[in-house]
Amino acid sequence: MSSLNFLLLSHALLIIALLSIPNFSSATSEEANALLKWKASLQIPNNSQIVSSWTLPQSNSSAPSPCTSWLGIVCNTDGNINRLNLTMSDLEGTLHQFPFSTLRNLTHFELSLNNFFGPIPPEIGLLSKLVYLDLSVNQLSGPIPPTIGKLSQLTILSLSGNRLNSSIPHEIGSMVSLEANCEICAVAEESRFSFSLFL
């Protein structure tokens, strides 16, 4: 009887161990579909690797998931997308259809050196887990939304090289991680506003 107990205990421990292995390979279908919808709103060059890598697997297919095969995507241990890096991807479009409310697990959001234009949507404040935000060297315009002050964990913020045209929102003053770790540089020149925070 003791060998049976040992066998049952061994199996139970094996099952517990297998259940606790992190899942790095599967972003939620909601996240993947939301990113595909945003991708459809962008102008993307035909030779872009993003076009070929951001596709959903066919049903009954062993195609790789967004976490393992989509360019610029990294997932956390729960299988949620937590890093998006599309720097220098030659993308053009706006952030209006970006799925801020779906990608609330993002910690790193990097879109620098592209051709994004229009305002930074106030919904950016929904990304409360962000520690790194780089939207530099695009064509973003308008004011910096005050909701950016809700990004309380942010340590790096780079918005330079855009056409932002307002004062720095006072809400940024409540971002303790930026105050403790970053240098603030603001330059207004010929109706262009350059703003950068860096470590």
Surface-to-core class of residue 63, CB atoms within 10 Å of its CB (0-12 exposed, 13-18 middle, 19+ buried)? exposed
- Give the tens place of pLDDT for each residue, 14-62: 444 433 434 334 568 899 999 999 999 999 988 788 877 888 876 655 5
- Give the tens place of pLDDT for each residue, 136-162: 999 999 999 999 999 999 999 999 999
Q: Does domain 24-198 have CATH number 3.30.750.24?
A: no
- Contacts of residue 48, defined as CB under 8 A and 6 or more positions apart, other chains included, come to 89, 90, 91
Q: How far is CA 125 from CA 41, 89, 150, 165, 181, in A?
A: 21, 24, 5, 19, 20
Query: In this predicted structure, which of 69-78, 89-98, 189-198 has the lowest mean pLDDT?
Result: 189-198
Domain ranges of the chain: 24-198
Instruction: Compute how many other C-beta atoms are within 10 angstroms of the C-beta atom of residue 150.
Output: 18
pLDDT score at 9:
54
